[in-house]
Amino acid sequence: MWGMTLTQSTPIGADRTESCASGPLAHPRPEGADQYTISEVAGFTGLSAHTLRWYERIGLMPHVDRSHTGQRRFRNRDLDWLHFVGKLRLTGMPVADMVRYAELVRAGDSTYGQRRELLVRTRRDVLARIAELQDTVAVLDHKIGFYADAHEASERH
């Protein structure tokens, strides 16, 4: 559904579905009046303006609108995309893979299958990572318990 932000060819409904899934992702300005400078977007996303320009250069951002003088004017759909990219980034997905996903989006609806596959694979990796981290928590708990015991013992004597 991010594809539509580029191709404008996907039904509006998909976008609503997304907002609803991502939780509290209210747009700062309503549809139609959504124009943001790069520094505003930097503020919203926590990314630097440098990074936003870099994302565009490497193809991780769809082409962003420009003002008549050539300055970037981000729109709500760009914020949505960045929000999703942020999620992918959290998974530890390499930027190159995110670019690959962006390319699939640009390529149009015929890539649904490949996009889905990529997301499914990512999901699997994330679940594995969660399991790994839970295992690590167990080890940490054990060690923390040891230090607590040691502390107790030293108090007891």
Decide if residue 103 touches a copy of itself (CB under 8 A).
no
69, interface contact from DNA, a copy of itself, none, CB < 5-8 Å by kind: DNA
Q: Which helix (H) or strand (E) holds 74?
A: none
In 10 A of CB 41, how many CB atoms? Answer: 21
CA atoms within 13 A on the CB side of 121: 11
Residue 25 β-bridge partners: none
53, interface contact from DNA, a copy of itself, none, CB < 5-8 Å by kind: DNA
Decide if residue 94 touches a copy of itself (CB under 8 A).
no
Residue closer to DNA (CB basis): 34 or 40: 40
| Contact of 56 with 90, CB cutoff 8 Å | no
Stretch 30-69 residues interacting with DNA (CB under 7 A) = 37-40, 48-51, 53-54, 57, 67-69
